[in-house]
Chain A
Amino acid sequence: MHEVDFHWNILIVIYLFTAGISAGAFVISGLATYLGGAKYKRISRIGALIAPWPLVFGLSMLMFDLTKPLQFWWLFLTVQWTSPMSIGSWLLTFFSILSSLYFLLWIPRPWRDLLRVPYRWADVFSPRRWQPMTREVVGISRRVLAAVGFPIGLGVGMYTGILLGAIPSRPLWNTPMIAQLFLFSAMSSGVATVLLIAAATPPAKEGHDHMHHERHFLVTVDAVLIVLEIFIVIPFFLHQALNTWSSAESVNLVLGGPFTLPFWGGVILLGLLLPLAIEGFELYPVVWKEAAVKYSRLWGGASAVMVLVGGFLLRYVFVYAGQVSHFLPLLER
């Protein structure tokens, strides 16, 4: 085997994973705000409250991966249009700002009132006259931020794949499908995090009905995302195996190479098929019996943890195996 130093290591894996969770949590929160309003309020809140934090953690990991961690801000002195990393840095900056503002708007009531805003232009420079936000202002701001942040959240999710995919010299990465795979996996990881926290925290006061609505919504979205991922993985392998020699050889890393177990056992079985089976079991009464979604905290939490482990392993396998994959010289010239 080609001798490889892994210049991108576990720090990059963690960063790609956490950026995906943030993007996914933000997008699902925005989606819940627009689709359900009051019905999915708890989902919107959980998503909004967690969205900024995984990314902050991931970005600090990313910083330590640099040989000059304290010079990370040089990324923001320039825009390099042909570098996915440069575009991604700016995208992450906008996303961080938006998700932080969105976070502030979703802080629960007694604490939110500590936050004061000027209501007249004349008050902008005299903070003493600022007032807590009214219900209407909060409602409109949430919707505006959700709408503006929605495409940026999708962009962040997609960027984590494009970062790898835009490199021709790594055949395992160099396919447009990796952007979609990482995007849907990011969304799925975000939804799973919201699911996990929803299962771990006490339900909203309104009662059991809301729980079922929430659960139905989250499980449906997650199941759809998992099915989409499966239909990316299948053509991904067919395409790579039938592509140039370098590409065909690169998939051997996960088809009977060093990354076979983490990929098929971790990503596919644990991260996609098992959670899909659990979610199918939960959704079964809705689809065939017109009854409420089956709900169990234990199974809900378990499927969410599996999705997260699978999402992490997906990044691990691709970041590491991709660095092993390379152009192959012609045997005979």
Chain B
Amino acid sequence: MANPAKESNTPPKKRWGFVMEPERCIDCEACMVACSVENQVPLGEHRNWISHKEMGIFPDLNITFMPENCHHCSNPPCERVCPTGATYRRDDGIVLVDYDKCIGCKYCMMACPYDARYVNEEKQAVDKCTFCVHRLDAGLPPACVETCVGGARHFGDLNDPYSEVSKLLATHDYYQLYEEAGTGPAIYYIRGK
């Protein structure tokens, strides 16, 4: 694969994203705790969660734990419907809320197919996963990735072919959630064996 960085002087645009390995997730919820502590998420709300996907017919039953958070869509429905422009998308693909501009109409919460948003009563605004943007800007991975005991959460630049996430996607079969809705999510799930 050609590295665009070698062909031009400008570095390629970053596209931060997750690659999840549901087979490695043990539903310990350490990522949820780490996130809540790191981002001071009010009690009762969560920026990330683990969905349970039950499959099969008795006796061949199977349960898959899928770590999830805001998918930081490339075509975010929440950004489109925001009446004040409080929700915006950074150049590196991170979708953020400008808490000062948010008036709390909750239209974005209606529009998000992943139910990734919640009302932060302390900030009096709608809030969600930021990919720990304050840590990223300091060169650190998101708190949930750092704490994941099973190594189910992988984080990196999807546009960099040498990143861990790109290598995983190049060598594994994967799927995304509701990508058929045209949201362009930045979370990929490695398909189980």
Residues of A at the B interface (CB closer than 8 Å) are: 7-8, 65-68, 71-72, 74-75, 77-78, 80, 82-86, 89, 166-170, 322-323, 326-327, 329, 331-333
Contact = CB atoms under 8 A, between A and B. Distances in A.
Contacts of B119: 7, 67
Contacts of B110: 7-8, 167, 169-170, 322-323
- Main SS at interface, chain B: loop
Given A67-B106, A167-B77, A333-B191, 5 more contacts: A67-B119, A67-B125, A74-B84, A86-B83, A167-B111
B101 A326 contact: no
A74 B103 contact: yes
30 contacts: A7-B109, A8-B110, A67-B104, A68-B102, A68-B104, A68-B124, A71-B103, A77-B84, A80-B82, A80-B85, A82-B80, A82-B81, A83-B80, A83-B81, A83-B83, A84-B81, A85-B81, A166-B81, A167-B110, A168-B77, A168-B181, A168-B182, A169-B110, A169-B181, A326-B113, A326-B115, A327-B113, A327-B181, A329-B177, A331-B55
B84 A7 contact: no
Measured as residues with beta carbon below 8 angstroms from the partner, the interface class of chain B is: 20 to 34
Given A78-B85, A326-B115, A83 B107 contact: yes
Contacts of B125: 67-68
Contact of B105 (A65, A323, A326): A65
Nearest to A9: B106
Nearest to A3: B115
Interface string B71-109: 000000100111111000000000000000111111101
Interface of B: 53, 55, 77, 80-85, 101-107, 109-113, 115, 119, 121, 124-126, 175, 177-178, 181-182, 191
B157 to A, nearest CB: 26
Contacts of A80: 82-85
For the complex of A and B, the 5 pairs showing the least CB-CB separation, nearest first, are A67-B104, A169-B113, A86-B83, A85-B83, A67-B124
A85 B105 contact: yes
A326 B105 CA distance: 19
B84 A75 contact: yes
A322 B110 CA distance: 9
Contacts of B181: 168-169, 327
A67 B125 CA distance: 6
B103 A75 contact: yes
A7 B118 CA distance: 9
A170 B178 CA distance: 13
